[in-house]
């Protein structure tokens, strides 16, 4: 750990961005190359199953806040976790080596602005923590579509001090420019940078006269219903390849409503990490074995337009070994 | 390959990434093809993957046949042939009987 900042307070970076925009991927790379130095990472997941904490093992300390988004239902958990960190740190001598930086990775459903307001409004935390910056990761592939339809996506952009465009290798320069002018219109103060799998990429200068496309007005009460997380337990009767068959069909038919799917699936090759964003499946990865594998086989679905029970029913009918579809 | 995140990862389509050995892969292909055929038959399509032709063979009852490299391509082709996607959340897959 490095020595204290002059004011003796810790620096908090809030890392936000929509579901599947690439927050964890970016942070994982930053931890690997050490851009933050020694850092405590707090990961918040809206669903009750944590996946991201496995990927962020390079942090010097890690807190997982699962089962509630920290800008609304899980706000108190976040405040408590931060107070605990402050408490632990205050017990150490200020001339020693103690924790200087915290990175909070929000859930994809969180409004970073609300989190910043909650932390700054807390009478204890304000004496211990300075919010250094809010970094918002924007999916270059799906960002424009999200901004057109999701009020939350726009609020996230508005809260940013720095915008990082991810997956820029997957889009053509015209769509990238369109997205960038839109982002500039939504949040003119935030500089934009780009990263592919966390590694920084050069971005050409944006023409100053480029016109942003007009975004349709959105109201907060969405007629399509709220995006909610749900979990699906894959039991032993479902073979991994059958599950993949079902999921591939589901993504094809319902990809636009199924904003995010993630989880670890036990397979013959090992623990297969599955992550999707709308219809795009991220390149599969086999995770190393670890002590606590109790969450393996529990897949998190975040989306709208379906009933949680239907997923289980459909999977049974679609992919169960013994049953037949009439 | 980056030793932190393992990218680029396992080659091939994601639906096949769980197989560790050629045996697993073949077993998974056969199992999957059987299930796929069962799912598609009520729609008037048949699927076959015998392990010989590299790909999944999708046929209509009138004999129109295509060979598709992976499941994503199968669902896209099925949608093209049917005029609507095969939706796992369609009531036909949700009945308890």
Annotated domain spans of chain B = 17-93
Judge residue A216's burial from the number of C-beta atoms within 10 Å of its C-beta, 0-12 exposed, 13-18 middle, 19 or more buried.
exposed
ipTM: 0.89
- Using the beta-carbon criterion (under 8 Å), do B85 and A283 form an inter-chain contact? no
Helix or strand run (H / E) with residue B60: strand B56-60
Chain B residues within an 8 Å CB radius of A324 = 38
Rounded distance between C-alpha atoms, residue A311 and residue A232, angstroms: 7
Query: pLDDT confidence of A320, banded at 50, 70, 90?
Result: low
- Using the beta-carbon criterion (under 8 Å), do B9 and A58 form an inter-chain contact? no
Query: pLDDT confidence of A224, banded at 50, 70, 90?
Result: low
Model confidence, pTM:
0.74
- Using the beta-carbon criterion (under 8 Å), do A252 and B85 form an inter-chain contact? yes
Pair of tokens at residue A295: 């969450």
Closest CA to A251 of B91, B15, B25: B15
Mean pLDDT in residue range A52-60? 76
Rounded distance between C-alpha atoms, residue B11 and residue A284, angstroms: 9
What pLDDT does A297 receive? 84
- Using the beta-carbon criterion (under 8 Å), do B28 and A241 form an inter-chain contact? yes
Pair of tokens at residue A78: 């976040």
Query: pLDDT confidence of A136, banded at 50, 70, 90?
Result: very high
Mean pLDDT (chain A) is: 84
- Using the beta-carbon criterion (under 8 Å), do A313 and B96 form an inter-chain contact? yes
A40, A60 in Cβ contact below 8 A? yes
Residue B25 has pLDDT above 70, yes or no: yes
Beta strand segments in A31-128, E: 40-45, 61-66, 101-105
Mean pLDDT in residue range A41-60? 78
Mean pLDDT in residue range A28-38? 88
What pLDDT does B96 receive? 62
What pLDDT does B60 receive? 92
What pLDDT does A326 receive? 37
Residue of B nearest to A288 (CA): B6
What pLDDT does A145 receive? 87
Mean pLDDT in residue range A139-159? 88
Query: pLDDT confidence of A325, banded at 50, 70, 90?
Result: very low
Q: B63 to chain A, minimum CA–CA distance in Å? A: 22
Residue A162 has pLDDT above 50, yes or no: yes
Residue A323 has pLDDT above 60, yes or no: no
Query: pLDDT confidence of B41, banded at 50, 70, 90?
Result: very high
What pLDDT does A262 receive? 84
Q: Decide which of A132 and B97 is more confident.
A: A132
Torsion of the alpha carbons at A168, A26, A255 and B30, rounded to the nearest 10: 100
Rounded distance between C-alpha atoms, residue A181 and residue A178, angstroms: 5
Closest CA to A107 of A145, A140, A78: A78
Rounded distance between C-alpha atoms, residue A81 and residue A77, angstroms: 6
- Using the beta-carbon criterion (under 8 Å), do B71 and A286 form an inter-chain contact? no
Across the A/B interface, how many CB contacts are shorter than 8 Å?
140
Q: Tens of pLDDT along B67-87?
A: 998 899 999 999 999 999 999
Query: pLDDT confidence of B8, banded at 50, 70, 90?
Result: low
- Using the beta-carbon criterion (under 8 Å), do B86 and A253 form an inter-chain contact? yes
Residue of A nearest to B90 (CA): A314
Rounded distance between C-alpha atoms, residue A52 and residue A95, angstroms: 33
Residue of B nearest to A307 (CA): B89
Rounded distance between C-alpha atoms, residue A243 and residue A246, angstroms: 5
Tokens 């150490």 locate to A92
Chain A residues within an 8 Å CB radius of B85 = 252-253
What pLDDT does A322 receive? 45
Q: Tens of pLDDT along A243-298?
A: 999 999 999 998 888 888 888 888 888 888 888 877 878 777 788 777 777 778 88
- Using the beta-carbon criterion (under 8 Å), do A318 and B35 form an inter-chain contact? yes
Q: B12 to chain A, minimum CA–CA distance in Å? A: 9
What pLDDT does A278 receive? 79
Q: B54 to chain A, minimum CA–CA distance in Å? A: 17
Residue A68 has pLDDT above 50, yes or no: yes
Beta strand segments in chain A, E: 10-17, 40-45, 61-66, 101-105, 129-139, 162-166, 192-196, 199-201, 228-233, 258-267, 270-277, 280-281, 285-287, 298-303
Closest CA to A271 of A313, A232, A305, A240: A240
A11-25, A89-103, A174-188, A245-259: lowest mean pLDDT where? A89-103
Q: Which domains does chain A have, with CATH numbers?
A: 10-201 (3.40.50.300), 228-319 (3.30.1220.10)
Chain A residues within an 8 Å CB radius of B91 = none
Q: B3 to chain A, minimum CA–CA distance in Å? A: 9
Residue of B nearest to A31 (CA): B4
Q: A280 to chain B, minimum CA–CA distance in Å? A: 10
Cross-chain CB nearest to A265 (options B18, B21, B41): B18
Q: B43 to chain A, minimum CA–CA distance in Å? A: 10
Residue A51 has pLDDT above 80, yes or no: no
Mean pLDDT in residue range B43-68? 89
What pLDDT does B45 receive? 94
B4, A26 in Cβ contact below 8 A? no
What pLDDT does A220 receive? 59
- Using the beta-carbon criterion (under 8 Å), do A242 and B8 form an inter-chain contact? no
Residue of A nearest to B72 (CA): A248
Rounded distance between C-alpha atoms, residue A193 and residue B25, angstroms: 41
Residue A37 has pLDDT above 50, yes or no: yes
What pLDDT does B80 receive? 93
- Using the beta-carbon criterion (under 8 Å), do B24 and A270 form an inter-chain contact? no
Residue A15 forms beta bridges with which residues?
A105, A135
Residue-level length of chain B: 97
The pairing of strands A129-139 and A162-166 is parallel
Residues 6+ apart with CB under 8 A from A24: A43, A52, A55, A56, A105
Chain A residues within an 8 Å CB radius of B32 = 241-242, 244-245
Pair of tokens at residue B43: 């729609």
Instruction: Please give the angle made by the CA atoms of A255, A261 and A265, to the nearest 5 degrees.
Output: 130
Chain B residues within an 8 Å CB radius of A270 = 20
Tokens 């490095």 locate to A2
Q: A250 to chain B, minimum CA–CA distance in Å? A: 6
Residue A300 has pLDDT above 80, yes or no: yes
Pair of tokens at residue A164: 């990082």
Distances (CA, A) of A248 to A54, A111, A184, A298, B87: 24, 30, 35, 17, 10
Residue A227 has pLDDT above 70, yes or no: yes
């Amino acid at each position: 750990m490095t020595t204290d900042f002059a004011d003796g307070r810790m620096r908090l970076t809030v890392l936000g961005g929509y579901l599947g925009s690439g927050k964890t991927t970016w942070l994982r790379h930053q931890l690997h190359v050490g851009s933050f130095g020694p850092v405590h990472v707090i990961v918040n997941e809206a669903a009750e199953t944590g996946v991201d904490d496995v990927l962020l093992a390079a942090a010097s300390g890690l807190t997982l806040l699962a089962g509630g988004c920290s800008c609304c239902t899980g706000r108190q958990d976040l405040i408590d976790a931060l107070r605990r960190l402050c408490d632990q740190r205050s017990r150490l001598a200020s001339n020693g080596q103690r924790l200087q930086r915290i990175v909070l990775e929000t859930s994809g459903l969180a409004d970073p602005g609300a989190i910043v307001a909650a932390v700054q409004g807390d009478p204890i935390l304000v004496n211990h923590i300075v919010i250094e910056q809010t970094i918002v990761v924007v999916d270059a592939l799906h960002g424009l579509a999200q901004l057109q339809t999701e009020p939350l996506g726009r609020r996230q952009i508005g809260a940013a001090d720095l915008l990082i465009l991810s997956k820029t290798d997957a889009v053509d320069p015209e769509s990238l420019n369109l997205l960038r002018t839109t982002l500039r219109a939504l949040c003119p103060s935030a500089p934009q940078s780009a990263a592919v799998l966390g590694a920084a990429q050069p971005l050409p200068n944006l023409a100053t006269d480029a016109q942003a496309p007009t975004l349709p007005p959105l109201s907060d009460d969405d007629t399509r219903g709220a995006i909610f997380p749900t979990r699906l337990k894959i039991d032993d009767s479902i073979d991994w390849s059958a599950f993949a068959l079902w999921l591939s069909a589901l993504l094809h038919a319902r990809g636009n409503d199924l904003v995010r799917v993630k989880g670890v699936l036990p397979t013959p090759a090992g623990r297969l990490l599955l992550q999707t964003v709308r219809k795009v499946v991220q390149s599969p990865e086999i995770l190393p074995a670890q002590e606590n594998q109790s969450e393996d086989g529990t897949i998190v679905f975040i989306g709208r337009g379906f009933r949680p029970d239907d997923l289980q029913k459909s999977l049974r009918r679609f992919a169960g070994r013994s049953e037949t579809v009439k | 390959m980056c030793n932190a995140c393992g990218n680029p990862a396992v080659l091939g389509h994601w639906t096949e990434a769980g197989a560790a050995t050629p045996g697993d892969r073949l077993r998974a292909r056969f199992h999957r093809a059987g299930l796929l055929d069962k799912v598609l038959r009520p729609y008037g399509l048949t699927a076959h993957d015998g392990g010989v032709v590299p790909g999944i063979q999708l046929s209509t009852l009138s004999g129109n046949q295509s060979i598709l490299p992976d499941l994503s391509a199968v669902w896209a082709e099925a949608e093209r042939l049917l005029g609507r996607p095969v939706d796992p959340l369609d009531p036909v897959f949700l009945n308890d009987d």
